[in-house]
Each structure stands twice: as C-alpha cells, then as structure tokens.
Amino acid sequence: MSLSSQLSSDTTNRRRRPGARRHSCEDSWEEIQSRRTIRAENEVEANKLVNNYRFGFRKWKSHVTERPFEDRSEVVKELYSELNIIKPHADQFITCGNVLYVLLFGWWVSLVYLVVGALMFATVIGIPYGKLCWKLCCYFLWPFGNTIHEIGNTLRRCCEEAPDCECSVTVEDNSPILLPSPAEVPTPEVPAPTVPAPEVPDRPLRTPYWHRLSTYVWLLLGYPPLVIIHSLVCFISWILVFTIPVSKMNAQTLSIILLLPPEDVLISTSSHRKHQGYETRALLCCYRAANWYYYKYAVDGINVFAVNLLPLVIVALVIGYVDKENQLASSDVKFAMAISSIIPLSYYIGMGIASISAQSNFAVGAVVNATFGSITELTFYITALLRGHRATNPCLQEVVKAALTGTLLGCILFIPGICMIIGGLKHQEQRFNSRSAGVSSALLFISVGGVFAPTLFSKAYGNLVCDACSSINATSNSSGLFVCHNCHYDLKNGTLFHDHIEPLVYTVSVLLPAAYVIGLIFTLKTHSHIYNIHVGEVQVSGHHGTVVHWSRWRSLLILIVATVLTSACADLATEHIQPILNQPNISQYFIGVTVLAMVPEIPEIVNGIQFALQNNISLRLFLFF
C-alpha cells in the first residue's frame, strides 16, 4: 500500500470516529509520515539497512553481500562482462572515450609494436612474430569493432560441403566434425555422392609451441618490452577508473594473446569471423574505451576508488619512515600523502564495522561502532597531542582544537546542509522521522554543551596572563587600549583552572560517554519503536545463498590492520605538519578546521550525498549526529 493510500484510509477512519482526540490524529499523522518499510535481498542486507537508522551505528550505503549477477541492471552487467563476447553493437565507434584512447595510449602502443615487429624481422627466425606484431600494431591503434580470434584445428561440419559457409558448430550435433582420415575414406565399392564435395585443405602439421626456436627468440627479445608497455597501460587505465576496459584489454593481451602461436591469432572485423572453415574462438573484442558508470565498479565488495588508493598508503608509509632526510620527498609531500592515505583506511574501517554489525546482534554492533566508529579521528588527535607534548610544541595542541571545532561545525552544519541542498535539487518534497530526530538533536545538544562548557567557563572567569603589554597611545600614562603579547590563561596551582575548570573537564569526560550509553539504551532497547522501521519480506532470487563479502573474522582483522595503518599515517602527518604551520600565509586554525577535520570524513560525506540522491533525509541527517 502506498503512502497516499495509507493516508487516505487513516483520514476516513478518523472521520467515522468523531470522538477521537486531536492528539491521536496528530500521532497517527506523524506515524504515517515517518513509517519506512525496508526491503532487501537477504537477511544480512536487511540488518545493515536497519542499523543505518539506529543511533550510534555508522551508516553505510554499499552492499555487504554479493548480489546475484542476474538481478543487476544491464549497465552494471556490462561493467563486469568479459571482453571476449561478440555483441551486436549498433552504436557508433567514434566516441569521446575512444578518441581519447587513441590520444593517450593507442598511438605510442602501436609505435612500440611497430618497433618490436621490425626487431623480429631482423632476427629472421622471428618473422612469424614480426607479422603478428604488425597486425597488432594496426589493432591497438583502433581496436574498436575489431576482434582477435584463436584459430582451432576443428573444421566446421557444414564446411565439408561448403567451405565458404559461416555457420558454427552446435552442441546438439554429436556427429564428428573433423575431416575423415585417409583410412576412413569410403572404398570404391561405396556409391559416390551425386554432388561431389569440394576439397577443404587440412591445416599443415606444426611443430609444438615449446619446440620452436622462434618461441624462445620471441620470449627473449619481443615479449619483455611488450610486458612493460602493456603493464604500464594497464596500470594507468585502471587508476583512471573510467578507462578500466582498456586495462582489461591490455591484461588479456599480455596473459593470453602474446603467448599463442602467431599462426593461431586472427584479427578480423565484426562482420568477418571465419577462417577457411575452421572454428575460431573470440579472445578479445572491445567496443568502448571508457564508461562513466565504472565509479560503481567493486572488487570483492570494495569500491574501485578505495582499491586504487590502497597503494598510496604503502608508498606513504615507506617514504615517510625510510626517507628520514627528506631526500625523496619534502615534508609537504609527505604530509599530503599521509593525510590522503587516511581516506581509503576510513573506508575500510567503515565497511568492516558495517559487515560485523550486519552479521551480529545490535549489542555487538553497538560495541563495535563505539570502539571503531571514531577511531580515525581519535588516532590522529591522540597522536598529535602526544607528539606535541614530547616536543613541547603548543602549535599541535591548537591544531587539535581547531580540528575538533572543524569536525563539529563541518559534520553537523556544513555537510548536512550540502546534502539537503542536493536532495532538494532532485526531490521536491522530503520527509523525516521527527521523533528520532528529536532524540538525536537532544544528544547532540548535550555533546556540544559538554565540549564547550569548560572553554566558556574559562573565558568568563579565568585570569589572562601576558608577557608584555604596550599602549597604543603616544602618552604612557594614558588609560587607553594596550597591545599584549604571548597571552595565556593562568594554570598555576591554586588558580581557577585547578580549583574549578580541571574538575569540570574530568566531569564532562565522564558524562559524555555516559550520555552516549544512555542514548544507545534508549534508542535500541527501551524506545526502539520511535524509529518505526518495518522490515518487509526478504527478496530471495533463485537458489543462491547469502554470500558475505567480509566474514566477521575477516572484518575484525581488517579493522585492526586499518587502525594500525591509520595510526602510522597520523604519526607521519603530525611529524611533517610543522613546516606547513611555519608558513606565514597558512593559519594553523585553517589547517585544523578544513584539512584535518574534513579529510577523514570523506567516506561519510560520499555516503551522505548518495543518501541525499535517494531522498533519504533521515539517514542524511543522522549520518553526522
């Protein structure tokens, strides 16, 4: 039943009962407004979706289980399809992506094949491979619409009578499809057929692949430079994400085509797929060099962008800890690499939390979310404070304060505002559960009050101590304004800080975790009905069982490893941040509020925008509360 029909039915029932109270109508209206039915492919996905609406659980958009391939859309199926399937491609091959391929890769890959082919011709023994290189030279210059086949030894049965036919062997045909041997030729006593069959030449006997001298000449002289070239193109096109078809094409060429006998490789257009009546097998056919939808591509459930950023973590750690003298990279580069490395690690931590929570009960999920939910920020802040304490550097303390302020302002005001704007541009009307929003807002108010209470109390009643003050007026006896330097609040024993502010800080540090635990009990146990979430029938297609991308133990192991790597990256970032803070044009507060506060939250920001595009304002709001 749709929301409008439910609303009409409820209104009709209320009119039939004139004695109903007004607040009952309002409660029913609010309940209908906030009601949400969740439908998922399996029970694990249903648990993940329910956890997205619970307080204290990290929201996660991606799937934690494998989706049946037949249930995916045609666009997604094309992303995961192999490049050995010949399709009736009616679109034009001249596209922006294909032209960009020629400019970025095609011309110089073809040039390399031309040089390698000339080298093979110069060896005389490798002439067959030289011919293959020249054919591949033309292919890689413009591979779209062309197909690389492997020629087999099996003759089509219909070609015994008509060698020029284009039919293929069917599975149902159990009769032999090879030409009869001379011993099996009918004797003269057998009547000859009325229509004589034309002769089809047999493929000549060939020396086995590994018994040829040309094979070893090719593997020593021709194959190694092509390995380097194709590996480079494969890496670059994979990093660019949207050109992953080019990466697949080069990987297929490197692993299969270049290791075949040259006479078994046939390059033809889509309209010509036969070779003298022998069966062929398509090895490579590419129609598009780029596809915009590859941002959805996932490897073992991990988004391709997170996979591509993982090598950055290793490079940042190796350079950061090996190059102590900054010979390979400057401190600015090391800081940028360390901060950027936190982005994929935050993604892995988020997916690990979502996987464990979806496969466990809410108690285990709450503990995991409380333990690892903010581990990225905590790791960075604690590392910066410890390094600043050891180096007696007050700048790092100010950076941590600025980062905390930026996290509160950005994740509570700026980012939800952007998500609301994005959702409003696509959806005219947006609804949310006001009761659950009220609970989250109350807990948010307690958190903000607890964080800023010691600061406000210190600003109001603390004693400001300065090293030197000078009057801005010409006369020294004037009672006007003064300019003071190196001002700070008095932290000596017996002052306001030790008597009142320090106990207040410890009290707040105890009350805030207690408020979090109370919020968990209130929303997950005693008043879980306020979320009004109904789990519909689980949609199970076919006979496929639920296959989880990451099991509990694997998720836990990834959480631990990602946490350790995050600590190492945070240590490098705090070690190399000082040269940036020393620059006169960059403020330490700007670095803390923007870079240090927002970079670890990028996976959460992406999730919030995706929820906004799906008109899910509830998850958009509660994602940052």
Give 162-220 pLDDT, tens digit per residue: 555 555 443 334 333 334 444 444 444 444 444 444 554 555 667 888 888 999 999 99
Do 282 and 362 sit in the same domain of this protein? no
Dist. CA 625–CA 432, nearest whole Å: 14
Do 315 and 419 sit in the same domain of this protein? yes
pLDDT at 6: 39
pLDDT at 28: 46
Tell me which of 583 and 617 has the higher pLDDT: 583
Tell me which of 477 and 354 has the higher pLDDT: 354
Instruction: Tell me the average pLDDT across 247-259.
Output: 95
Which of these, 625, 613, 430, 618, lies nearest to 532 by C-alpha position? 618
pLDDT range class, residue 447, cuts 50, 70, 90: confident
Has residue 30 got a pLDDT over 50?
Answer: no
pLDDT at 1: 40
pLDDT range class, residue 36, cuts 50, 70, 90: low
User: How many structural domains are present in the chain?
Assistant: 2
Do 355 and 391 sit in the same domain of this protein? yes
Has residue 4 got a pLDDT over 80?
Answer: no
- Domain final residue pick, 261, 292, 323: 292
Q: Where are the alpha helices (DSSP H) in 17-106?
A: 22-34, 43-52, 74-80, 96-101
Do 272 and 409 sit in the same domain of this protein? no
Residue 527 inside a domain? The answer is no
Do 231 and 167 sit in the same domain of this protein? yes
Do 248 and 343 sit in the same domain of this protein? no
pLDDT-above-70 percentage for the chain: 75
pLDDT at 202: 55
CB 315 within 8 A of CB 330: no
Has residue 474 got a pLDDT over 70?
Answer: no
pLDDT range class, residue 127, cuts 50, 70, 90: very high
- Domain final residue pick, 292, 314, 347: 292
Residue 425 inside a domain? The answer is yes
| 166-195: burial string, b at 16+ Cβ within 10 Å, e else | eeeeeeeeeeeeebeeeeeeeeeeeeeeee
Do 231 and 340 sit in the same domain of this protein? no
pLDDT at 220: 95
Tell me which of 203 and 72 has the higher pLDDT: 72
Has residue 20 got a pLDDT over 80?
Answer: no
Range with the largest mean pLDDT of 108-112, 502-506, 513-517: 108-112
Residue 345 inside a domain? The answer is yes
* H/E element, 37: strand 36-38
Each residue's pLDDT tens digit, 374-432? 888 888 888 888 888 887 777 888 888 888 888 888 777 877 788 888 888 877 777 66
pLDDT at 441: 78
Which tokens go with 227?
A: 């390995």
Which of these, 366, 360, 379, 350, lies nearest to 519 by C-alpha position? 366
Do 258 and 312 sit in the same domain of this protein? no
Do 241 and 309 sit in the same domain of this protein? no
Query: Which amino acid, residue 449?
Result: G
Each residue's pLDDT tens digit, 73-116? 888 888 898 888 887 765 678 889 999 999 999 999 999 999 99
Do 262 and 360 sit in the same domain of this protein? no
Has residue 571 got a pLDDT over 50?
Answer: yes
Tell me which of 463 and 539 has the higher pLDDT: 463
Q: Which DSSP category does 156 fall into?
A: P
- Domain final residue pick, 271, 292, 313: 292
pLDDT-above-90 percentage for the chain: 26
Which of these, 431, 430, 447, lies nearest to 439 by C-alpha position? 447
pLDDT at 276: 52
Residue 154 inside a domain? The answer is yes
Residue 313 inside a domain? The answer is yes
Q: Which residue is associated with the tokens 């009709």?
A: 12
Which tokens go with 142?
A: 């413009």
pLDDT at 5: 39
Has residue 270 got a pLDDT over 80?
Answer: no
Each residue's pLDDT tens digit, 486-496? 776 766 666 77
Each residue's pLDDT tens digit, 42-67? 788 777 877 777 776 777 878 888 88
pLDDT at 186: 47
CB 154 within 8 A of CB 281: no
CB 241 within 8 A of CB 294: yes
CB 377 within 8 A of CB 600: yes
Which tokens go with 395?
A: 């700048």
Residue 267 inside a domain? The answer is yes
CB 299 within 8 A of CB 282: no
Instruction: Tell me the average pLDDT across 517-529.
Output: 79
Report the chain's terminal Cα–Cα distance, integer Å.
32
Do 387 and 243 sit in the same domain of this protein? no
Domain assignment of residue 585, given as a range: 303-429+551-619
pLDDT range class, residue 458, cuts 50, 70, 90: confident
User: 167 — phi, psi (to 5°)?
Assistant: -80, 165
Q: What is the DSSP string of 221-263?
A: IIHHHHHHHHHHHHHHHHHTSTTHHHHHHHHHHHHTGGGS-GG
**121 φψ region: left (φ > 0), alpha (ψ -120 to 50), beta (else):** alpha
Has residue 254 got a pLDDT over 90?
Answer: yes
Residue 437 inside a domain? The answer is no
Residue 329 inside a domain? The answer is yes
How are beta strands 533-535 and 36-38 bridged, if at all? parallel
Nearest-Å Rg of the Cα atoms of the chain is 34
Do 118 and 245 sit in the same domain of this protein? yes
Has residue 226 got a pLDDT over 90?
Answer: yes
